[in-house]
Amino acid sequence: MKSYQIADLEHLSGIKAHTIRIWEKRYNLIEPDRTSTNIRMYDDKQVRKLLNVSTLLAGGLKISKIAALNESAIHKAIMDLQVENEGDAIALSFVNDLTASMLTFSELAFEKTFSAAVTRFGVFEAMIQVFYPFLNKVGLMWIIDNSMPVQEHFASSIIRRKLMASTDALPINAKKGRKFILMLPPDEWHEIGLLFSNYIIKVKGGETIYLGQNVPYENVAAVLNYTKADAVLAFFIARKDEGEVKNLRKKMGLPPETKLLVSGNHDLMNALKNEKHVQILHSPHDLLKFL
């Protein structure tokens, strides 16, 4: 069982460490263990409880009422919230459920939450309101080292599989739409954004040539020459030197008529904003506008 410090709980739940300490004293909400140097330490069960508290707070319940509930009553309150309410509180509930399932490697619970989110919102809105916020949280967790990379891989592999299945289930479009080459540049492995873009383009009637991960720049020209695609879409997730993303069109050998769409790492997108004939996609909504 993994142990967490109070800073980890703050990042996981969105509740300030100072507030958590107050609730411990005032409501006996959770009881941490302490190290020999008096540092608070929390276990998986306490993390799950705080995630549930965060969900109920977003649903409008007062902390004094939540603190009086036992575990089964908290679970029932969350179920009632998911039935009765719409919007941000429900999305947060799903995000917290996914986080708890990931921390304990519970594939059944993770898939159940994934399916519930898709049933409630549809694939597109579930990605926007639930899965992207969840992945952003996972990325933050990785940075502060309160999530093992293997936990992130566990969660992202399920989401990848579900996105692929959703894309495969789309009806074949008999009409020929615009054609897109989708790729991750060299040393890029995080595929979920690209998979979601593939889904969006197909939903909107476009065609895709999906090249996937770690594609050398020089290979794009050969594929383009063979397929006559209208656009190339590339994702940059890993941090890179800004020089590596300069002159992308030249590196890929793109002719003037081929659109280049780029998304991903915020800092790199800023570095590319002045590049000529490169269109930055800040969100899936930008891709929808382009389509």
Confidence of residue 189 (pLDDT cuts 50, 70, 90): confident
- Residue 184 pLDDT class (50, 70, 90 cuts): very high
Structural domain boundaries, residue 23:
6-167
DSSP label of 101: H
Q: Are residues 201 and 63 in the same domain?
A: no
> Which 3 state secondary structure label does DSSP give 14?
coil
Q: Are residues 154 and 23 in the same domain?
A: yes
The region, left, alpha or beta by phi > 0 then psi within -120 to 50, assigned to residue 87 is left
Which of 167, 201, 221 terminates a domain? The answer is 167
Are residues 214 and 121 part of one domain? Answer: no
**Whether 3 contacts 32, CB under 8 Å:** no
The CA–CA distances, whole Å, from 250 to 155, 226, 266, 275 equal 36, 18, 22, 11
Neighbour-count burial of 128, counting CB atoms closer than 10 A to its CB (0-12 exposed, 13-18 middle, 19+ buried): middle
Of 148, 167, 186, the position where a domain reaches its end is: 167
Q: What is the spatial distance between Cα 9 and Cα 184, in angstroms, rounded to a whole number?
A: 33
The pLDDT value given to residue 240: 65
- pLDDT greater than 70 at residue 25: yes
Mean pLDDT of 55-82: 80
Question: Do both 87 and 183 map to the same domain?
Answer: no
CB of 130 closer than 8 Å to CB of 159: no
Distance CA 246, CA 234 (A): 13
pTM of the model: 0.75
Judgement on whether residues 149 and 286 belong to the same structural domain of the protein: no
The per-residue pLDDT for 220 is: 93
In a domain, 42, yes or no: yes
What average pLDDT score do residues 188-216 get? 91
Are 19 and 131 contained in the same domain? Answer: yes
Per the structure, how many domains does the chain have? 2
> What percentage of the chain exceeds 90 in pLDDT?
22
> In 3-state terms, what secondary structure has residue 228?
coil
Summarize the confidence of residues 149-160 as an average pLDDT.
Answer: 85
pLDDT of residue 288: 87
Residue 1 lies in a domain: no
Query: Average pLDDT, stretch 227-242?
Result: 83
Tell me the pLDDT band of 242, cut-offs 50, 70 and 90. Answer: low
Look at residue 143 in the predicted model and tell me its pLDDT.
Answer: 54
In a shared domain, residues 103 and 56: yes
- Nearest partner of 186 among 133, 245, 226, 145, judged by Cα: 245
Interval 243-288: pLDDT, tens: 676 778 888 989 988 999 988 877 777 777 777 778 888 888 888 8
State the pLDDT at residue 161.
92
Say if residue 182 is in the same domain as residue 50: no
**Confidence label for 127 from pLDDT (cuts 50, 70 and 90):** confident
| pLDDT(24) > 70 | yes
Residues 146 and 274 in one domain: no
Q: How many angstroms separate the CA atoms of 33 and 120, rounded?
A: 38
Q: Strand runs (DSSP E) across the chain, as ranges? A: 33-34, 40-41, 179-183, 207-212, 231-236, 259-264, 279-281
Check which CATH number belongs to the domain holding 39 and give it.
Answer: 1.10.1660.10
CATH code of the domain in which 194 resides: 3.40.50.280
CA 154 to chain centroid, in Å, comes to: 13
20 shares its domain with 117:
yes
Tell me which range, 31-35, 52-56, 77-81, 200-204, is most confidently predicted by mean pLDDT: 200-204
For 104, list phi and psi in degrees, rounded to 5: -110, 10
Averaged pLDDT for residues 112-122: 91
The two tokens of residue 201 are 């383009």
Q: What's the pLDDT score for residue 214?
A: 92
The verdict on 181 and 66 lying in the same domain is no
pLDDT at 210 (0 to 100): 95
Q: Give me the pLDDT at residue 14, please.
A: 82
> Considering the chain, what is the average pLDDT of its residues?
83
Looking at the fold, whether 247 and 148 belong to one and the same domain comes out as no
